[in-house]
Amino acid sequence: MNKLLKFILIILLYNPLHLAMAESYDDKIIAIVNDKVILKSEVQLAINYLPADIIEKEYMNISDEEVIRKILKKLIETNLLIQAADRFGINISDIALENKLSEIARSKKMTINELRNNIIKQGQNYTNYIQEIKKQMTIETLFISQFYSRTNVTEEEIENFIERERINEHGNFEYDLIELVILDEDKLLDPDHINDIYKNIKLEGFINTQNKYPNTPIDVKTLGVVKHDKLPDIFVKAIHGVNDEEYTEVISSSKGYHILKILESENKQSSFVNEYKVSHILLKADIMTSNDTIREKLIKMRNEIKDLEDFKVFAKKYSADTASGFRGGDLGYVRTEALVPAFASKVKTTPMKKISDPFQSRFGWHILYIENMRSIDDTNTIIRKNVAQRIRIDKAQRERDDWVAKLKDQAYIEIKEF
């Protein structure tokens, strides 16, 4: 019997009526958490709406009673955290919720309406879906405000972690992967059919796709956490540039066709970054001098400047940025992501050893000179940031777990028979 079908049958044994008829049967209280209750229907909804990938990873090899207890434990913790968030005055605005839904839709390459229709098509109640998203956002905000943002990481902790985990300067990439394989050693399947399967995967996930194409030999398996140097080269190439919770493109092999889903990755953002050696001259408009006048002054300067030495002279004499003006306008090597958008755009588009046209940023009017550009291997910096983030999350998580344990000890929790 198909594993997912078996899981669904377990659910139906627990609640023999269809979800749409939930209001027609005698609902009952499963648990009491302080002054709140958890109903049988809430447990059922949580089970029904478990993502297929989570079912495959966490729930396939446990009994139906263990499934219910595991779900109930999560619901109790969620209730305690939502109650705590209320006490801290944490409230998710409608705008924040709308932005989150837009972000989810974009990640699935959908519009908001398409996301809504897809949720309904999968048999879910869209209002309940939104409420669950709001709960997740509330708990995340509680975690960040009360634990993550207050947690400090020292350089010594970073060094100790790198040494203990033997992370090298080139990175220690790890991926938590699930793989779907379309078995086709003789390459007999129609490419359009493969493409249809891939499109369905991106909409509905691995398990639902496997069930939708019963006549196509498809295997789904959890690879778990794998170091990048243990993966085949074709997998490493396909994974490059793919974010967490996203799918690779279709990977062709002698076995057939593979699609990987990255559940989580560690230290994979390593890359080279460009740095520009930039000098600039800044002029600011005031009540006596219009923007047009400032722009004309900069055009005149640009036309009179013959080389970098001239540029330095003009910067020292005229630049309103006195700190860099003292150095002849020299800003040193800069990265565009650290600059305001208007300045970053001009840095990228100005030819080497040339002076830019005048442009305006929120600081005033500029002309700039690009002296040099270099590519820096930023792997070590990114690794250290990732390590610091991991340490901070681990420390905050431990504090959160201790705090939740105290919440449970101090709370009134009663679990009824089910």
d(CA 41, CA 48): 10
Q: State the helix-helix crossing angle for 94-107 and 126-146, rounded to 10 degrees.
A: 110
- Third-level CATH fold of 3-141: Triger factor/SurA peptide-binding fold (1.10.4030)
For 272-377, give the CATH class: alpha beta
For 173-266, give the CATH class: alpha beta
Q: State the helix-helix crossing angle for 308-318 and 291-304, rounded to 10 degrees.
A: 150
Q: What is the pLDDT of residues 251-274, one digit of tens each?
A: 999 999 999 999 887 755 445 678
d(CA 295, CA 358): 6
Q: Could you tell me how many residues make up the chain? A: 418
Q: What is the DSSP letter of 250?
A: P
pLDDT at 272: 64
Residue at token pair 């900069």: 298
- pTM as predicted: 0.49
Element counts in the chain: helices (H) and strands (E):
15, 12
Q: State the helix-helix crossing angle for 379-410 and 155-165, rounded to 10 degrees.
A: 100
CB atoms within 10 A of CB 46: 19
CB atoms within 10 A of CB 337: 7
Backbone angles phi, psi at 348, to 5 degrees: -70, -30
Q: What is the pLDDT of residues 173-187, one digit of tens each?
A: 788 999 999 999 999
Q: What is the pLDDT of residues 354-398, one digit of tens each?
A: 999 999 999 999 999 999 988 776 767 777 888 888 899 899 989
Q: Are 47 and 418 in contact (CB under 8 A)?
A: no
Q: In which element (H, E) is residue 237 found?
A: helix 233-239
Q: Start-end ranges of CATH 3.10.50.40 in the chain?
A: 173-266, 272-377
Q: Start-end ranges of CATH 1.10.4030.10 in the chain?
A: 3-141
